[in-house]
Amino acid sequence: MRLERVNEDKIKIFLSSEDLLIRGIAENELWEDMPKVHEFFNELLNEAENKLKFSTDCPIAVEVFVNSKDGIVLEVTRSSIEKQFNDDLESREQVGSIEECNDLGLFYAFETFDAVIYACEKLLRIAVSDGSIYTKDNIYFIYINNTDMKAETIKAVLSEFGYEANETVYQVSEYGKLLLTGRCFSKITNIFLKI
């Protein structure tokens, strides 16, 4: 076994098949959630702390790679609590602003245009016909304004095929492209599903 410090927050642990055999771990068990694998990782982290002064009293990420030259390589990266706190805070602020900007309607993202087609079909079935469809960076978006009456039902339909957008409708309308607006759901289903 060999330990190597990459930087202040990252180390590499190189293990051979013999290192695993000595500790009673099979290579395929490294990817399983087993108590002996957890103990093994804890032993490795304790050894890294002793030899490299690499403290793991904060959140860490462990990546396992199989390399024909080095055997098995574990990359252990720790994140400082302060950095994680700032990232979480920034993420929460961004989510809050997205929710505030989209609070007038529902704004959902879809990975494929097929998902948009099927969502449009289902929206028509629950008598929702007005909205807007956008595209930006190969993602499609549906925006539905004025959803007071059926908001939960509409959310259920949109969530079946897509997910709540991580961007605001204003960002997508500014940097993306408006494909259709108005009675766009019936237009889409008439063109692509021949309803």
Say what the pLDDT of residue 101 is: 42
Average pLDDT, the chain: 81
Q: Band of the pLDDT at 58, cuts 50, 70, 90?
A: confident
Closest CA to 143 of 126, 47, 171, 28: 171
Q: What CATH number was assigned to the domain covering residues 103-192?
A: 3.30.70.1950
pLDDT per position as a tens digit, 136-153: 999 999 999 866 667 888
pLDDT in tens, 85-143: 555 555 544 444 444 444 568 899 999 999 999 999 999 888 888 899 999 999 999 99
Among 46-50, 95-99, 119-123, 180-184, which stretch is predicted with the lowest mean pLDDT? 95-99
- Gap between the Cα atoms of 4 and 8, Å rounded: 11
Q: Which of 79-83, 161-165, 181-185 has the lowest mean pLDDT?
A: 79-83
* pLDDT for residue 136: 94
pLDDT number for residue 148: 65
The rounded distance, in Å, linking the Cα atoms of 45 and 42 is 5
Distance, CA of 28 to CA of 171 (rounded, Å):
45
| Range(s) of the chain covered by CATH 3.30.70.1950 | 103-192
